[in-house]
Structure 1
Amino acid sequence: MSIRRALAALGAAAALVLVGAAGPAMAGNPHFIKNATSAHLDGVNLVVDFKEAGLPSGAVETVVASADLSATYSCVNGGGNVPSDPKKTTIDSRVSESGEFTAAKNGNIVGSLTLMPTPADVALDCPNGQTATLLSVVWSNVTVEDLDSGAFIAVKGTFSAP
């Protein structure tokens, strides 16, 4: 075998290795589908629904939904009333929930994650005869991110209850 043929064969083999290695990385374009990604309230909880496409079939992805939460809590007496000198607190925090999802054969993930406010009895310590109660929540700046693929989307809207 001549040196020229040997070098040509070696070059061809190297090219195949490079193309094979780059193939899976170039196969998809992971991204969230804007019109299939949204959020809505279920009581005071925020449910974030999403669809991600462009993934390899069977890929296991860690998806995180996050939102800013402003929650107001108050002590309520046995009659269901807020005392004239109410003990209140407002907690402002960033809340996140994550889950693992497996891409279908078509490279899509369709899922949902639920964000919940801090329970009232954890957020506020009330005197005897009064109960800590969540009065209102406002969710904003909702985002969804795939920690594995790097896909990211912001969900428009502010969600408040009651």
Structure 2
Amino acid sequence: MSIRRALVAIGAAAALAIVGAAPAVAGNPHFIKNATDASLVGTSLVVDFKEAGLESGSVETVVASADLSATYSCVNGGNNVPSDPKKTTIDSRVSASGVFPAAKNGQIVGSLTIVPTPADQALDCPPGQTATLFSVVYSNVTVEDTTSGAFIALKGTFSS
């Protein structure tokens, strides 16, 4: 009878070892607020983020989005804005996305860069003048993991 108990105990221990060796399952995907931020680099918005609570090895699609107001103007050959400049302001929702694998600890650390529409695509200037981006304002910046559903809205306005 004690052999039977010993075999049952060994079998139970083996089952626990197998279950205990299984990878941890994610519980609560979320962005870490103090490790997720945005900054202006030239006229581009760089969004750095950290997401936790993911399953180890999962592959996540992350999207950074912002409202953009960009002002473009024509500049003449002397690098001056003509007295009656041709200019336009484009207001749009812009974004950048990427695919990131979660590390063994269930976290992703990444960066996405949002860029405005190139000046030559935004404004058609007369001969001898060049379309130039004069200013950008990014607001309502959000970061979303479209795979896990995690979401964060960043405070602040970023302008040049």
2:158 equivalent in structure 1:
159
Tell me which amino acid in the other structure corresponds to 1:58: G
* Structure 2: 5+ residue stretches without partners: 1-18
1:6 equivalent in structure 2:
none
Any idea what the Cα deviations from partners look like across 1:92-129, whole Å, max 9, x if unmatched?
A: 00001110000000000000000000000000000000
For residues 49 and 157 of structure 1, the distance between their equivalents in structure 2, rounded to whole angstroms, comes to 15
2:85 equivalent in structure 1:
86
For residues 33 and 137 of structure 2, the distance between their equivalents in structure 1, rounded to whole angstroms, comes to 22
For residues 48 and 154 of structure 2, the distance between their equivalents in structure 1, rounded to whole angstroms, comes to 10
Normalised TM-score (structure 1): 0.83
Normalised TM-score (structure 2): 0.84
2:16 equivalent in structure 1:
none
Aligned-partner SS, 1:90: strand
Aligned length: 140
How far has the Cα of 1:142 moved from its partner? Answer: 0.2
Poorly superposed stretches of 4+, deviation over 4 Å: none
Aligned-partner SS, 1:122: helix
* Structure 1: 5+ residue stretches without partners: 1-19
Any idea what the Cα deviations from partners look like across 1:45-77, whole Å, max 9, x if unmatched?
A: 000000000000000000000000000000000
RMSD over equivalenced CA pairs, Å = 1.7
2:4 equivalent in structure 1:
none
For residues 61 and 100 of structure 2, the distance between their equivalents in structure 1, rounded to whole angstroms, comes to 6
How far has the Cα of 1:27 moved from its partner? Answer: 3.8
Tell me which amino acid in the other structure corresponds to 2:119: A
How far has the Cα of 1:28 moved from its partner? Answer: 1.5
Aligned-partner SS, 1:121: helix
For residues 158 and 125 of structure 1, the distance between their equivalents in structure 2, rounded to whole angstroms, comes to 28
